[in-house]
Chain A
Amino acid sequence: MANLTLEHVTKRYEDVTAVDDMNLDIDDGEFICLVGPSGCGKSTTMETIAGLTKPTEGTISIGDRDVTTLPPKDRGVAMVFQNIALFPHMDVYENISFGLRLRDYDKEEIDRRVEHATDVVQLEGMLDRMPEEMSGGQRQRVAIARAIVREPDVFLMDEPLANLDAKLRVHMRTELQRLHKELDTTIIYVTHDQAEAMTMSDRIAVIDGGELQQIDPPLVCYNEPANLFVAGFIGSPSMNLLRGRLTANGAETDDFAIDLDVENVPGASAGDDVTIGIRPEDVYPTDTQGAISTPSDPIEVTTDVLEPMGDQIFVYLTFDETDAGAMRGDATGSDQLLMSVDPDRDIEEDESMEVVFDRTKVHLFDDASGDALVHGVEDLTSSGFETRVSETRSGEADE
């Protein structure tokens, strides 16, 4: 068990920079998820921590020990791979004890540890099976047992559940959480599935283009995304991002306006291009606006496509009289608005209605830098405001 620090870690290949100046400070016993789209550099980050690739620049230390130049075997890390990577020519016992046998532990110690590990992952009585005789979930357990049997300082898990079917994945997710509680070891977990990241981790590190975008507890990433990328990536379905601009009276798009005092928005002034972000669950039809105390002005919309999910209905809305806007077809400044409503609500396609936003949940992002300006605009009309993006955090996000 140990903390893990990455300082200015950069990995450049001939023509691409896979990891760009990554700084991470991970506490002992923390469960950290590295999330990001495919090819964002999260797996490369993991490989540099494991020692499978050497960083071009920067230092990696595990428990106050600089391991940057150490080979993988001397780093005190164990890894669970996306493709499981059990040795096909060894049975379960040989697979789990591989690392211990290499380190010349005596037979009784190996047996004791293997027994404990198989106990933890519930694999009793399968020690003499070959990997090819096992199911995907069982193989994954063997891989996890192989990792925990060495009692490493840091666990690295590179999308360990990606190759399992959906049901097993949810099951293994809870198993991993239980495991973390039991072992209390630092775990670095790479995934592109933000549901896994949200449910399992103490903190989420969102990575894009090799750069760290934000590292915060899941709900902070969800409620106060540091920039446009995090806002769009965390949350499913993702946040509505509507392109607009700041005026003297507030923020407005081609279709609607939100009152606020621009003076109170830090680092922005009237005339700046901004993106207004609002999550689908923070959009309400006007007749249910009693549920919130801080509605925005009503916006006229027409329902387009309905997606009943069972526990809620996702409603795609188009703004009225926005033919010009619809033609623009902008990816981020969408002319569409997604709203989630109660499943019992009687709603039809092509229905005209009015919706309001919960003003405490409206986010403003600076278009030029992509950074968040403010989360919640309710109090911006008066002197104070809800959650201003602190200077330090926006500084971190820049890195």
Chain B
Amino acid sequence: MATIDGSNDSTGSNDSTEPEGGPLARWTKSVIEDQEKRERLYRALFIVAAGFFLLTTLFPFYWLLVLALTPTSRILTGDWSLPIIGIEFPHPQGFNVYAFVEMFEQVPFHLFMFNSFVLAISTTVIVLAVATLAGYVFGRLDFPGRGVLMLVVLMISYFPPAAFLVPLFDAFLGNAVVVPFLGIELFESPRLVNTPASMVLPFSALFLPLAIFILTTFYSQIPDGLEDAARVEGTTRLGALVRVIMPLSAPGLATAAVLTFITVYNEYFFSSIMALENNPENWSPLLGGILSYQTQYTTEFNLMAAASIVGVLPIVIIVIVAQERIVSGLTAGGLKE
């Protein structure tokens, strides 16, 4: 017994004095064994990853700010090398805050923003109203063909929006909708171009599947007993949906609403075509407004940058507010039975 103990001791001391492997293996081993070292490594990795993410997301905004503050004449001709160090790096060439006023003087940018808000809000309302009913049906009722229908809804959401553009534009111009090859006239659409309807209708259709999917998931998680209780207490099915299921699915509703709102607010492709010119009267959105600073002969980069910053601010505010709501909804919901 004594010899076995002795040999164990000697191997133990060998390990501590002469570690095996090269420096990397030794370091790896020490990280695995030493909790403090491990935590330091995790913190370092977190800082690197978060720093990289912040740099890549925030740098464009910094650049926008640089462009907005630099007068137009110096954007193309200015000396971008940093003082003293001499390396070329984007930094403000002057402090032309007046750009944020001038952008409203040259173009009625507030009207473009108003258009974007109207489009985004009406789309969000339509999408939430329809998706709530659809989500209730898909999430809480059992009927034959539910899976197939859900699949169809999801499939449609994967179609490229551009595929719908030409026929929709044709119809919204007021032309009759005709079955291809057969020539049978189905109906004649009113002329919707240059109206909010020409944008809200396709947006709603395009963003519905995602909202339906989100709400279906949330609504299906509400225990049946709660809905039954509400119905026995005196609500209809619809009443139970509004009074019990929707409040308990607040995080899901907020997610669907925020996603829809932001996507429509930022939308350019459909609206640039459905609004025939970049005029606020034609319901051209925010992006149409930004492009109006570009004329045939001049491009006012500083004003475009200033307008971009102003346009982004509402989204920043909404995200911050909604994020708080989502987090509080998640913690207060507590679906305990």
A-to-B contact residues, CB < 8 Å: 47, 50-52, 71-73, 77-79, 81-89, 98-99, 102-103, 131-132, 146, 150, 156
Would A85 and B247 count as touching, CB distance under 8 A? no
Instruction: Tell me the bound Cα distance from A71 to B235 in angstroms.
Output: 9
Is B236 part of the binding interface, using a Cβ–Cβ cutoff of 8 Å? yes
Known: A52-B231, A78-B232, A87-B226. 14 other contacts (CB 8 A): A52-B232, A71-B236, A72-B232, A73-B234, A82-B225, A83-B225, A85-B223, A85-B225, A88-B333, A99-B233, A102-B235, A102-B239, A132-B334, A150-B233
Instruction: Tell me the bound Cα distance from A98 to B332 in angstroms.
Output: 19
Is B151 part of the binding interface, using a Cβ–Cβ cutoff of 8 Å? no
Most central of B225, B228, B236, B332 by chain A CB within 10 Å: B228
Residues of A within 8 A of B332 (CB): 89
Would B226 and A85 count as touching, CB distance under 8 A? yes
Instruction: Tell me the bound Cα distance from A81 to B223 in angstroms.
Output: 12
Residues of A within 8 A of B236 (CB): 71, 73
Would B334 and A85 count as touching, CB distance under 8 A? no
Residues of B within 8 A of A103 (CB): 234
Instruction: Tell me the bound Cα distance from A52 to B223 in angstroms.
Output: 14
Is B254 part of the binding interface, using a Cβ–Cβ cutoff of 8 Å? no
Q: What is the predominant secondary structure among interface residues of chain B facing chain A? A: helix
Whole-angstrom distance from the CB of A226 to the nearest CB of chain B? 32
The number of residues on chain B lying at the interface, defined by a beta carbon within 8 Å of a beta carbon of chain A, is 22
Would B233 and A88 count as touching, CB distance under 8 A? no
Whole-angstrom distance from the CB of A16 to the nearest CB of chain B? 15
Whole-angstrom distance from the CB of A85 to the nearest CB of chain B? 4
B-to-A contact residues, CB < 8 Å: 223, 225-226, 228-236, 239, 244, 247-248, 332-337
Residues of A within 8 A of B234 (CB): 73, 98-99, 102-103, 150
| Nearest B residue to A84, CB-CB | B337
Whole-angstrom distance from the CB of A93 to the nearest CB of chain B? 14
Would B231 and A73 count as touching, CB distance under 8 A? yes
Kindly list the 6 A-B residue pairs having the minimum CB-CB distance in the complex, ordered from nearest: A85-B225, A99-B233, A85-B229, A102-B234, A73-B234, A79-B232
Would A132 and B336 count as touching, CB distance under 8 A? yes
Residues of A within 8 A of B247 (CB): 89
Would A73 and B235 count as touching, CB distance under 8 A? yes
Contact among B226, B228, B239, B244 for A52, CB-based, below 8 A: B228
Would B336 and A73 count as touching, CB distance under 8 A? no
Residues of A within 8 A of B333 (CB): 88-89
Contact among B225, B230, B235, B336 for A131, CB-based, below 8 A: B336
Instruction: Tell me the bound Cα distance from A26 to B29 in angstroms.
Output: 76
| Nearest B residue to A101, CB-CB | B234
Residues of A within 8 A of B334 (CB): 88, 132
Instruction: Tell me the bound Cα distance from A146 to B226 in angstroms.
Output: 13
Would A71 and B225 count as touching, CB distance under 8 A? no
Whole-angstrom distance from the CB of A138 to the nearest CB of chain B? 13
Instruction: Tell me the bound Cα distance from A131 to B333 in angstroms.
Output: 11
Known A52-B228, A85-B226, A131-B336; contact A73-B248, beta-carbon cutoff 8 A:
no
Instruction: Tell me the bound Cα distance from A77 to B239 in angstroms.
Output: 18
Instruction: Tell me the bound Cα distance from A49 to B247 in angstroms.
Output: 28
Instruction: Tell me the bound Cα distance from A89 to B236 in angstroms.
Output: 19
Would A102 and B228 count as touching, CB distance under 8 A? no
Instruction: Tell me the bound Cα distance from A102 to B236 in angstroms.
Output: 11
Residues of A within 8 A of B223 (CB): 83, 85
Whole-angstrom distance from the CB of B53 to the nearest CB of chain A? 35
Whole-angstrom distance from the CB of B182 to the nearest CB of chain A? 41
Would B230 and A87 count as touching, CB distance under 8 A? yes
Instruction: Tell me the bound Cα distance from A82 to B233 in angstroms.
Output: 16
Instruction: Tell me the bound Cα distance from A102 to B229 in angstroms.
Output: 13
Whole-angstrom distance from the CB of A47 to the nearest CB of chain B? 8
Instruction: Tell me the bound Cα distance from A50 to B229 in angstroms.
Output: 10
Whole-angstrom distance from the CB of A205 to the nearest CB of chain B? 21
Residues of A within 8 A of B228 (CB): 47, 50, 52, 72, 79, 81, 85
Whole-angstrom distance from the CB of B241 to the nearest CB of chain A? 13
Whole-angstrom distance from the CB of A174 to the nearest CB of chain B? 25
Can you name 14 A-B pairs with beta carbons within 8 Å?
A: A50-B232, A71-B231, A71-B236, A72-B231, A83-B337, A84-B225, A85-B223, A86-B229, A87-B248, A88-B226, A88-B336, A89-B333, A98-B233, A132-B336
Whole-angstrom distance from the CB of B235 to the nearest CB of chain A? 6
